[in-house]
């Protein structure tokens, strides 16, 4: 064999033996880019899940609390105390027992405190947490705003809530606020 043939054969053998350093560096860079893209997509998916679950929590708990208040107030027979953030009233339950209840805001917790008859559940009962605003406006029988407790016949309730999720920034929580508003007429007055 000639020298050229031996040189060509050994040169081909070296090329088939593996990758060169620049080829490995390019392959590593491409794998890194693909992994970074995958990580970003997964992080966005996790953020979307947290945001959505926080939004669902806010809406579900807010609705449940408002429905409970509406049910109690609708059966109201006497309002005994009323402020912009609290109401105390009596209502008649299904067993024709007069129940005394106070709804109020304590920090960020909306609380229901039943004093008569004393329930088996510890009082006050926290309906929901994460309440930013609990506002009550009272109206008389002519739908005129009143502050006189004896004249209250209709109550406007405004509830603004946000989730209580650890690790989210206030900016994230601000986007997940939910506002609930309703009007209830006390039927038994």
In percent, how much of the chain has pLDDT > 90? Answer: 47
Task: Report which of 48, 62, 50, 39 is spatially closest to residue 168, judged by C-alpha positions.
Answer: 50
Measured distance CA(53)–CA(48) in Å, rounded: 8
In this prediction, residue 168 carries a pLDDT of 56
Please give the structure tokens belonging to residue 106: 């304590």
Please give the structure tokens belonging to residue 185: 């007429």
Please give the structure tokens belonging to residue 174: 């601000």
What mean pLDDT do residues 73-97 have? Answer: 90
Q: How does the average pLDDT of the chain come out, rounded?
A: 84
pLDDT tens-digit series, residues 91-104: 888 888 888 999 99
CB 188 within 8 A of CB 71: no
pLDDT of 3 above 60: no
CB 103 within 8 A of CB 76: no
The three-class DSSP label of residue 33 is: helix
What mean pLDDT do residues 17-37 have? Answer: 91
Measured distance CA(150)–CA(146) in Å, rounded: 10
Q: Hey, where are the domains in the chain?
A: 61-185
The residues that bridge with 141 in the sheet, in sequence order, are none
Task: Report which of 178, 173, 152 is spatially closest to residue 77, judged by C-alpha positions.
Answer: 152
């Amino acid at each position: 064999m000639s020298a050229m043939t031996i040189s060509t054969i050994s040169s081909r053998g070296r090329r088939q033996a593996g990758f060169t350093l620049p080829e490995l560096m390019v392959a590593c860079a491409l794998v890194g880019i693909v992994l970074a893209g995958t990580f970003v997509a997964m992080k966005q998916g996790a953020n979307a899940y947290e945001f959505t679950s926080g939004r669902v929590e806010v809406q579900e708990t807010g609705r449940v609390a408002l429905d409970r208040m509406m049910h109690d107030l609708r059966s109201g027979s006497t309002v005994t105390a009323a402020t912009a953030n609290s109401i105390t009233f009596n209502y008649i339950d299904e067993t024709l027992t007069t129940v005394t209840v106070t709804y109020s805001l304590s920090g960020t917790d909306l609380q229901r405190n039943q004093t008569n008859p004393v329930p088996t559940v510890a009082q006050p009962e926290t309906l929901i947490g994460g309440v930013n605003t609990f506002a009550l406006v009272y109206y008389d029988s002519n739908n005129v705003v009143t502050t006189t407790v004896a004249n209250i016949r209709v109550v406007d309730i405004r509830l603004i809530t946000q989730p209580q999720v650890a690790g989210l920034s206030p900016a994230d929580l601000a986007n997940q606020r939910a506002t609930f508003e309703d009007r209830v007429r006390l039927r038994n007055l």
